[in-house]
Structure 1
Amino acid sequence: MLSSVAERLYWMGRYLERAEDSARLVAAYNHLIMDIPRAAELGWDVLIRILDAEPLFYQHYRVGNEQNVLRFLLAEQDSSASIPFAVRWARENVRTTRDVLPEETWEQINELHLYVSDAAEKSVGRRNRQAFLEEVISRCQRVNGMLSSSLPRDHAHRFLRLGHLLERSDMTTRLMDVGTGEILKRNGTHEAIDPLIWTSLLQALSSFGAYRRMIGPLVEAQQVLEFVFQEPLLPRSVAFCLAEIRAELKPLNNHEKAMRTLARGRRKLGKLQPEHMSREALHAYIDEFQALLADLHDAITASWFQPDTP
Structure 2
Amino acid sequence: MTMLSRVAERLYWMARYLERAENTARLTNAYTHLIMDLPRDTQVGWEVLIQMLDAEPVYTKRYRVFNEQNVLRFLIADQENASSISNSVRAARENVRTTRDVLPEETWEHVNELFIYTQETAEKSIGRRHRYEFLEQIISRCQMVNGLLMTTLFREHSHRFIKLGHLLERADMSTRIIDVGAGAILGRAETNQAIDPLLWGSMLKSLSAMSAYRHKIGPLVEPNAVVNFIFKEARLPRTVYFCLTGILEELQPLSNNGDAIQIVESALQKLTRFDAENMTLAQLHQFIDQLQISLNQLDDAINTAWFLPMQS
TM interval, shorter chain, is over 0.9
* Paired position in structure 2 for 1:135: 137
2:171 to 169, 180, 183: 169
| Match in the other structure for 1:186 | 188
| Unaligned residue ranges in structure 2 (runs of 5+) | none
SS of structure 2 residue aligned to 1:143: helix
Deviation at 1:309, TM superposition (A): 5.2
Which residue identity lines up with residue 41 of structure 2 in the other structure?
A: A
**Count of aligned pairs between the two proteins:** 310
Deviation at 1:41, TM superposition (A): 4.2
Does 1:236 pair with 2:232?
no
TM-score under structure 1 length normalisation: 0.98
Residue identity opposite 1:181 in structure 2: G
Which secondary structure state, in structure 1, belongs to the residue aligned with residue 15 of structure 2? helix
Cα distance in 2 between the residues matched to 1:238 and 1:252: 22
Query: Aligned partners of 1:196, 1:64: CA distance in 2, in Å?
Result: 22
In the alignment, which residue of structure 2 is the partner of 1:66?
68
Partner of 1:210: 212
Question: How far apart in 2 are the matches of 1:243 and 1:9?
Answer: 20
Question: Once the 2 structures are TM-superposed, how far is the Cα of residue 272 of structure 1 from its aligned partner?
Answer: 1.3
Establish whether residue 286 from structure 1 lines up as the match of residue 288 from structure 2. yes
1:251 paired residue number:
253
Corresponding residue for residue 197 of structure 1: 199
SS across alignment from 2:45: coil
Matches within 5 A, 1:26-41: 26-41=28-43
Distance 1:237 1:18 in 2: 16
Map of 2:80 onto structure 1? 78
How many angstroms apart in 1 are the aligned matches of 2:192 and 2:89? Answer: 37
Q: CA deviation at 1:239?
A: 0.4
Structure 1 residue aligned with 2:13: 11
The Cα of 1:213 is off from its aligned counterpart by: 1.0
Partner of 1:298: 300
1:267: Cα distance to partner?
Answer: 1.1
Other structure's SS at 1:39 match: coil
Change in CA separation of 1:309 and 1:278 when aligned onto 2, cut-off 3 Å:
farther
| Preserved contact between residue 33 and residue 41 of structure 1 (Cα < 8 Å) | no
Find the counterpart in structure 1 of residue 102 from structure 2: 100
**Maintained 8 Å contact 1:302/1:309:** no
CA-to-partner distance for each residue in 1:117-168, whole Å, 9 max, x for gaps?
0000000011000000000000000001111110011000000100000000
Residue by residue over 1:222-263, the C-alpha shift from the partner in whole angstroms, topping out at 9 and shown as x without a partner, is 110111000000110000001100111011111111101111
Q: Which residue of 2 aligns with 1:269?
A: 271
User: What's the C-alpha RMSD, in Å, of the aligned pairs?
Assistant: 1.1
**2:153 matches 1:148:** no
Shift in alpha-carbon separation, 1:263–1:164, aligned structure 2, 3 A: same
> Identity, % of aligned pairs?
58
Find runs of 4+ consecutive structure 1 residues off by over 3 angstroms: none
SS in structure 2 of the partner of residue 52 of structure 1: coil
- Structure 1: stretches of 5+ with no match in the other structure: none
- Which residue identity is paired with 2:271? L
